[in-house]
């Protein structure tokens, strides 16, 4: 049974992780309603600014699976702190930049930051709670994600009406600082390297580009139409990369995805 101090530490970690899960979901939904004022300030059209949403999701999807392997090698605490720091820096850039291309770059960086901290986030919560309480802890993370998606538009509207669109991003800074402090106080330091394994860079690139292609095709399907040859060309290219990823992963010791997932 956990001592009171361990219980307190576990619940503080859970609170910090819920804040992070809330942030990445709020940041996706809240930005959607801020596109028009961002367009006015940046001079960019709405089609261009859709990449503030798409770039965020594409970056997240590209890195989230390799990030799980990175956490196993470099440590969950370390990768979590890296991810939150990158997310906070990118949020600051989103709040102060005006140029549309730079804003999109900052949003991509924000997506990368979110991808870095999601795998260790779940792993740390899993480690902090005993088996009988893990279902509750993981469920609370799901609650945090659902709340983030639900309140994002309302939260974004309130911030937009009272403080301006930049504060949709700038408010992340203090919240990230709180979570960094909680992580540093509640999660024990790890060795510089947890294992001697290597990140499957080739597999990460293949899978990342494949996922990026699929999501880009999905995003552009409304613009190009389902009969556009370019759309199906991107889907076919992405599918070929995915097949190549699965084929090459079977022979690697440092595969990104466990071998059992590729077998019948």
pLDDT 10s digits, 160-185: 999 999 999 999 999 999 999 999 98
Domain membership of residue 193 (yes or no) is: no
How far, in Å, CA of 255 to CA of 144, rounded? 31
Could you tell me what percent of the chain has a pLDDT over 70?
A: 92
Mean pLDDT, to the nearest integer, of 189-196? 71
How far, in Å, CA of 13 to CA of 15, rounded? 5
**pTM of this prediction?**
0.84
Tell whether 102 and 171 lie within a shared domain.
Answer: yes
Q: How many domains does the chain have?
A: 2
Q: Is 80 exceeded by the pLDDT of residue 257?
A: no
Tell whether 86 and 206 lie within a shared domain.
Answer: no
Q: How do residues 70-107 score in pLDDT, each as one tens digit?
A: 888 888 999 999 999 999 999 999 999 989 999 999 99
Q: Is 90 exceeded by the pLDDT of residue 31?
A: no
Mean pLDDT, to the nearest integer, of 34-44? 89
Find the helix or strand (DSSP H, E) in which 145 lies: helix 131-162
Q: How do residues 204-216 score in pLDDT, each as one tens digit?
A: 788 888 888 887 8
Q: Is 80 exceeded by the pLDDT of residue 140?
A: yes
Q: For residue 107, with 0-12 CB atoms within 10 Å meaning exposed, 13-18 middle and 19 or more buried, which class applies? A: buried
Phi and psi for 144 in degrees, rounded to 5? -60, -45
Q: What is the mean pLDDT of the chain?
A: 86
pLDDT at 79 (0 to 100): 93
Mean pLDDT, to the nearest integer, of 103-114? 94
Q: Is 50 exceeded by the pLDDT of residue 227?
A: yes
Q: Is 80 exceeded by the pLDDT of residue 261?
A: no
Domain membership of residue 141 (yes or no) is: yes
- pLDDT tier, 62 (very low <50, low <70, confident <90, very high otherwise): confident
Q: Which residue has the tokens 């759309």?
A: 231
Terminal Cα-to-Cα distance of the chain (whole angstroms)? 39
CA-to-CA separations, 53 to 28, 37, 141, 173, in angstroms, rounded: 7, 15, 23, 20
Q: Is 70 exceeded by the pLDDT of residue 221?
A: yes
Tell whether 133 and 218 lie within a shared domain.
Answer: no
Mean pLDDT, to the nearest integer, of 209-231? 82
Rg of the Cα trace of the chain? 20
pLDDT at 226 (0 to 100): 82
How far, in Å, CA of 246 to CA of 262, rounded? 7
Q: Is 70 exceeded by the pLDDT of residue 13?
A: yes
Residues across the chain: 264
Tell whether 121 and 59 lie within a shared domain.
Answer: yes
Find which of 35-49, 91-105, 218-232, 241-255 is predicted with most confidence, using mean pLDDT: 91-105
How far, in Å, CA of 109 to CA of 95, rounded? 13
Domain of 117, CATH number, reads 1.20.1250.20
Tell whether 205 and 182 lie within a shared domain.
Answer: no
Domain membership of residue 17 (yes or no) is: yes
pLDDT at 195 (0 to 100): 66
Q: Which of 65, 25, 258, 5 is nearest to 156 (CA)?
A: 25
- At 167 the three-state DSSP class reads helix
Which are the contacts of 116, defined by CB distance < 8 A and separation ≥ 6? 63, 67, 70, 79, 80, 82, 83, 86, 87
Domain membership of residue 19 (yes or no) is: yes
- Domain that residue 207 falls in: 201-262
Q: Is 70 exceeded by the pLDDT of residue 224?
A: yes
Tell whether 222 and 163 lie within a shared domain.
Answer: no
How far, in Å, CA of 186 to CA of 259, rounded? 34
pLDDT at 258 (0 to 100): 62
Tell whether 69 and 166 lie within a shared domain.
Answer: yes
Which of 105-114, 119-128, 195-204 bottoms out in mean pLDDT, i.e. has the lowest?
Answer: 195-204
CA 173 to chain centre: 16
pLDDT at 1 (0 to 100): 42
């Amino acid at each position: 049974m956990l001592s009171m101090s361990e219980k307190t530490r576990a619940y503080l970690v859970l609170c910090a992780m819920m804040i992070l899960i809330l942030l990445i979901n709020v940041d996706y939904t809240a930005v959607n309603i801020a596109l028009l004022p961002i367009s006015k300030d940046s001079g960019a059209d709405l089609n261009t600014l859709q990449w503030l949403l798409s770039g965020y999701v594409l970056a997240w999807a590209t890195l989230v699976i390799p990030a799980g392997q990175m956490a196993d090698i470099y440590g969950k605490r370390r990768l979590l702190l890296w991810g939150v720091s990158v997310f906070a820096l990118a949020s600051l850039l989103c709040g102060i930049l005006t140029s549309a291309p730079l804003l999109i770059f900052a949003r991509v960086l924000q997506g990368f930051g979110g991808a870095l901290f999601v795998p260790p986030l779940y792993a740390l919560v899993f480690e902090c709670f005993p088996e009988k309480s893990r279902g509750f802890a993981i469920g609370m993370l799901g609650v945090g994600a659902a709340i983030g998606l639900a309140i994002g538009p309302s939260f974004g509207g309130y911030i937009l009406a009272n403080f301006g669109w930049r504060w949709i991003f700038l408010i992340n800074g203090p919240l990230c600082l709180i979570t960094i402090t909680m992580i540093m106080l509640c999660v024990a330091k790890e060795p510089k390297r947890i294992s001697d394994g290597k990140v499957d860079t080739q597999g990460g690139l293949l899978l990342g580009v494949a996922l990026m292609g699929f999501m880009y095709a999905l995003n552009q399907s409304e613009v190009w139409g389902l009969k556009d040859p370019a759309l199906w060309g991107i889907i076919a290219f992405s599918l070929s990369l995915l097949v190549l990823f699965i084929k090459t992963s079977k022979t690697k010791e440092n595969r990104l995805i466990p071998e059992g997932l590729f077998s019948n």
